Structure 1
């Protein structure tokens, strides 16, 4: 059974880490409020069962939510309070630097999160790694400064998925249906140069290629065009 760390790396589920985390909180409360060792193991058993039931690898935050719920279900509210405080304190520490671990996991080629984010990219290619590294910085800025805190929190908790956060900081948009017909029939402007309506099929294809290249430099994701918009220029060439 696998879980996904905050860095995006997929690792084997380790029940002992959950046991240790609960035990640390347990040791800090008054003895009369403490969980017995048997109850701690019972909580860990329940979490392990719930993880097995899921059809995907849970992330660390989801597992910690299960820990909180498990502690409270056993009536150990003092322990739960300390565990929640522990989570909060460590979250504050992580916010001071949220990109190092992700970037290192990219370089080590074991970041499962980015592999699942876009299957069209090969994270072992150097140019793709550089793009992903920049993306991690964008994600960090997006989550901490650009998104509404409620949206960022919902994303972290898995309630929603805010897609393409790795480009959001640049305020670019994703994917286009290019209005090729309008630009070919009425002319357009490319790099500050006015382009008139083409007078042949080959010229129309050349202009279409330039349009696609220009759009690609200003956005990310795919582009769609309709070849039907090139069809009228076949007849233009035929009539010459």
Structure 2
């Protein structure tokens, strides 16, 4: 997973350990549904959020407790032959499940839609409220850790298929809601809605503070044009990312027309196909077009 992090864990000699550690699973909260049911009532939203968080807690807790008392022989490749551990067949797995050696991820999706439902405006106009929601979820993870020590953390879910599934289910149940269920998708974690016109520096400024809450994993994205002829500007972007965010990447257009030699952005023709802006070429055999359609190319 491109954004999943392991929280710090130290052995008896106080050495940080990474090798052999693992995540026991993710449960993702449908934030927009809480806001839909709350119907604009912020107090009701917080009450619903508490209820849904406890449901997520039970599901995550089960992922650990189902493995307590289990012997390593249940999956030799994982527990005996080094994928996760090198235990004897009759050894139980409890020491790997408790104490933060392995982690559990509370995911979330659709903060943009949630803020839109609660305020009528984009999350970029209500950063404080959006941060308050994610901080609240992160604090819940800490509370659960204090109670059980199972390794809970907040995770900015990529939701590469779940973003469509949650939106579809909510549209079926609650109908078409402008800027929420009518789009056919929910926005990835705390990100700015893809339809919003925002420059990359403002996007970094908005999204970077959320990364501090999501200790279970996060990433930031930015779309930039072909910068081949403006490397200095590209370096400025990279430096800004370095100074302001913990984990970020940008996507750029590096298309090529083999017919006329054009390098840049091959454009959509409005009919589901591509066209070279220089020579009008639409031959798939002589066009190289690369687009990021989800978390992967």
- Shorter-chain TM-score above 0.5: no
Bigger helix share: 1
Bigger radius of gyration: 1
Bigger strand share: 2
TM-score when scaled to structure 2?
0.23
TM-score when scaled to structure 1?
0.27
